[in-house]
């Protein structure tokens, strides 16, 4: 939306609604509300020749002649002041205010000879973690989190403001970990404080027995403390999963949307029957994954996850249209995509009769397009196949791989490692205290247990 004049003086010209020139800027401003996406503001600019408008969200000045934003120092300061006033009225205080160095800090920056220039060969951020006794499950997740771009930017810009009285804040320890990782030190870090806090907040992970890396990831994000880590990175990993239940008699649809932490995917070889590909379908490349070798792909797993499922006569649901219990089908699709997407491949099977690890190889791509699995694309799928051609210019739902967690061994005895991306096409293997360079082939040939992707293009709300 463009400028509506809500927080500006009400003295406006009744003819053209222009504000008088203010002391902050010599540019007239339009106090008229028009939407940008539907081009209403464009029509107004063309008809009235009012070529300057203000973006309501960020306070930026947009020029319709240049078709670009114009930087104005005075306007930026006004926008900041108005933001502070709006946040104060809403009772949220200083929300995500930008850091502006003081004179003392500027002086320190000028005279600090240790400032580092980040290059493509830079190894800052790469640091091993000492295994404190079967703690590889924690180390591999810490490596993935410390190389999550948005988390890194958040913690290194000193955004966390702790309100806890004790020294048991898990988020504070994560902030300290980021400082340790990006300090430039090469010696392995000993995460004893993090382990202590994990044991404190997640009792089921306490002790030196072997633990599940996926359970640690969930515990880190949903910790039972006044300010769990999820408050800072849960929005980045948060899925909006749409469930559509369709009555088989009247075809009425009941829709619910629930938040999910990650997506857990069934694999071939488990006791749950795996939905096969259509005969002769998709023998080419989808999402950079080839079916020619006969390997199961991440796309296959997502197709199975989002396929319609018949609930059967033993699971009848009361239909709002029929006013009686009827058989139905259920289908899951993605209503809202997270900025950082985590896929959990269900390699550990626990049942009354069976406890085992599933070692089925699953091919996963460096770049992933989630468009076929969106709720908006549901009508374009037949038998799980997405029939519409994927638009290569539409980047809204495209992701890039940046971390992979692997498990070697059996259900009873094993070891976790991780691959992390430092720069574009530069990968490293993290095996507790040992960091070694890895190739893209090493990454893509690995078994895969947890796959971390981040959006290629961010949408700001």
pLDDT tens figures, 373-416: 988 876 655 555 555 565 555 667 899 999 999 999 988 889 99
Q: Which residue has the tokens 């269900």?
A: 346
pLDDT at 48: 83
The token pair at 375 is: 């709720």
pTM score: 0.70
The mean pLDDT of 39-60, rounded to a whole number, is 78
Of 384 and 346, more confident: 346
- Band of the pLDDT at 55, cuts 50, 70, 90? confident
Which residues, at least 6 apart from 199, have a Cβ–Cβ distance to it below 8 Å? 205, 206, 207
Active-site hit among 40, 42, 44, 415: 415
Q: From CA 301, how far away is CA 210, in angstroms rounded?
A: 27
- Residue 135, Ramachandran bin (φ over 0: left; ψ between -120 and 50: alpha; else beta): alpha
Backbone angles phi, psi at 375, to 5 degrees: -60, -35
- Band of the pLDDT at 446, cuts 50, 70, 90? very high
- Which of 169-183, 210-224, 338-352, 444-458 has the weakest average pLDDT? 210-224
The mean pLDDT of 56-63, rounded to a whole number, is 72
pLDDT at 118: 63
- Which of 69-78, 205-214, 417-426 has the weakest average pLDDT? 69-78
136 is catalytic: yes
- Band of the pLDDT at 325, cuts 50, 70, 90? confident
Alpha-carbon dihedral angle through residues 229, 231, 236, 241, given to the nearest 10 degrees: 110
Mean pLDDT across the chain, nearest whole number? 76
Active-site hit among 34, 50, 136, 319: 136
The mean pLDDT of 417-428, rounded to a whole number, is 91
- Residue 107, Ramachandran bin (φ over 0: left; ψ between -120 and 50: alpha; else beta): alpha
What is the separation of C-alpha 293 from the centre of its chain, rounded to a whole number of angstroms?
Answer: 31
pLDDT at 346: 92
């Amino acid at each position: 939306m463009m400028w509506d004049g809500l927080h500006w003086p009400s003295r406006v010209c009744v003819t053209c609604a222009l504000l008088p020139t203010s002391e902050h800027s010599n540019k007239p401003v339009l106090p008229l509300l028009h939407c940008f996406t539907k081009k209403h503001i464009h029509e107004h600019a063309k008809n009235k020749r009012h070529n300057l408008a203000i973006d309501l969200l960020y306070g930026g000045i947009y020029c319709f002649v240049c078709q670009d934003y114009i930087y104005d120092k005075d306007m930026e300061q006004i926008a900041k002041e108005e933001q502070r006033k709006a946040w104060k009225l809403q009772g949220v205080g200083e929300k995500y205010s930008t850091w502006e160095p003081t004179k003392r800090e500027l002086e320190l920056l000028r005279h600090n000879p240790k400032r580092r220039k980040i290059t493509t060969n830079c190894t800052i951020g790469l640091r091993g973690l000492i295994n404190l006794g079967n703690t590889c499950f924690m180390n591999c997740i810490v490596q993935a989190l410390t190389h999550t771009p948005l988390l890194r930017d958040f913690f290194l810009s000193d955004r966390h403001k702790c309100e806890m009285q004790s020294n048991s804040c898990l988020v504070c320890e994560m902030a300290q970990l980021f400082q340790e990782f990006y300090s430039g030190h090469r010696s392995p870090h000993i995460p004893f404080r993090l382990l202590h806090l994990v044991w404190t907040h997640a009792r089921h992970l306490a002790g030196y027995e072997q633990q599940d890396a996926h359970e640690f990831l969930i515990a880190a994000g949903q910790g039972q403390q006044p300010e769990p880590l999820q408050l800072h990175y849960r929005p980045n990993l948060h899925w909006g999963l749409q469930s559509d239940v369709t009555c088989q008699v009247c075809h009425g649809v009941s829709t619910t949307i629930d938040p999910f932490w990650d997506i857990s995917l069934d694999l071939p070889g488990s006791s749950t029957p795996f939905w096969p590909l259509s005969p002769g379908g998709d023998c080419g490349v989808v999402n950079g994954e080839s079916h020619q070798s006969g390997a199961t792909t991440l796309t296959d797993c997502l197709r199975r996850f989002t396929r319609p499922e018949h609930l059967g006569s033993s699971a009848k649901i009361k239909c709002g249209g029929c006013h009686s219990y009827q058989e139905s089908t259920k289908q899951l699709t993605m209503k809202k995509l997270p900025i950082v997407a985590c896929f959990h491949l269900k390699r550990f099977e626990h049942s009354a009769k069976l406890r085992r690890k599933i070692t089925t190889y699953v091919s996963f791509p460096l770049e992933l397009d989630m468009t076929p699995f969106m709720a908006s694309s549901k009508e374009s799928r037949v038998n799980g196949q997405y029939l519409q051609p994927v638009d290569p210019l539409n980047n809204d739902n495209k992701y890039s791989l940046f971390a992979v967690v692997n498990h070697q061994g059996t259900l009873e005895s094993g070891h976790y490692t991780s691959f992390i991306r430092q720069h574009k096409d530069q990968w490293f293997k993290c095996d507790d205290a040992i960091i070694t360079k890895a190739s893209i082939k090493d990454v893509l040939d690995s078994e895969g247990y947890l796959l971390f992707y981040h959006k290629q293009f961010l949408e700001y709300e």
